[in-house]
Homo-oligomer: A and B are copies of this chain.
Amino acid sequence: MRTVGSSRDKTWPIIRKTGIKLLFRHGFQGMNLRLLASESGLQAGSLYNYFDNKNEFLATIVSDIMKELLQQISDALDGVQDPEERLRNFVSVMVIWHTKRKKEAIVSQSEIRNLPKGRYEELIGLRKEFELILRKIIDEGVAGGVFRVLDARLIVVAILNMLTGIAGWYKPNGRLDVETLVGEYTDIVTKMLSAGKEIEVARGLRRRVQQVGRA
């Protein structure tokens, strides 16, 4: 039985926050628990009051992050019917998240590979949900005649790669503020889902595949 306000309630958030900082800075394998402990104001051994081992620590952090983002998206779509508005809301949450919560975004993207088997699959599952949500928005827009796509599955990953990529280059106090970015990306995504002219495929493709793809 835990007393309300016990020291656990104070310490874990500190560890969590420090952890995300260090995971962002050094990566999972590059960070170490001594550092996590000392920057959290603890001895290394004390961390084990909060998780079973380093891998589970990572799993908890990553899982919490992904669930929070999913929740934010869910909130933003809640009660909205119009596919174009749903899309705009989806994009805006993603842009804000990948800029304002850059560290969390990077960590949850990069460190899934370091999870222990069981947790790995669990979180891959969570990641699939993002695709499903966007896929549903697009399918409804296509059905409603407001979007046009060649291959829905592909456009989904293309958009997601583009949006999650933001965290990789965005710098706070950079050239563009977040609101502007939201506008720009909304524009880009909208174009991606519009009808386009017939395009010509690059010539000599077969030869180029040989050329570029030879190990």
User: Are B199 and A187 touching (Cβ within 8 A)?
Assistant: yes
In the assembly, how many copies of this chain are there?
Answer: 4
Instruction: Given A182-B202, A201-B182, decide whether A213 and B101 contact each other with a Cβ distance below 8 A.
Output: yes
Report A162 CB to chain B, min CB distance, Å.
4
Q: How many residues of A contact B (CB 8 A)?
A: 68
Question: Across the two chains, which residue of chain B brings its CB closest to A110?
Answer: B110
With a cutoff of 8 Å between Cβ atoms, the chain B residues found around residue A194 in the complex are 191, 194, 196-197
Q: Closest residue to A75 on the B side, CB-wise?
A: B211
Closest to A92 in B: B202
Q: Is the CB of B191 within 8 A of A30?
A: no
Q: Which residues, 27 to 53 on A, are CB-close (under 8 Å) to B?
A: 27, 29-30
Could you tell me the distance in whole angstroms from the C-beta of A94 to the nearest C-beta in chain B?
Answer: 9
Q: A157-B169, A190-B196 provided; 15 other pairs, C-beta below 8 A?
A: A27-B27, A76-B208, A84-B200, A96-B209, A97-B212, A100-B212, A101-B213, A161-B166, A161-B168, A164-B165, A182-B202, A187-B199, A188-B192, A191-B196, A194-B196
Cβ contacts A to B, 5 pairs, < 8 Å: A27-B29, A88-B202, A151-B184, A161-B162, A194-B196
Chain A positions near chain B (C-beta within 8 angstroms): 17, 27, 29-30, 72, 75-76, 84-85, 88-89, 91-93, 96-97, 99-101, 110, 113-114, 150-151, 153-155, 157-162, 164-166, 168-169, 175-176, 178-179, 181-188, 190-192, 194, 196-197, 199-202, 205-206, 208-209, 211-213, 215
The 8 closest A-B pairs by CB, nearest first: A161-B165, A100-B213, A29-B29, A92-B202, A88-B202, A96-B212, A191-B196, A162-B162
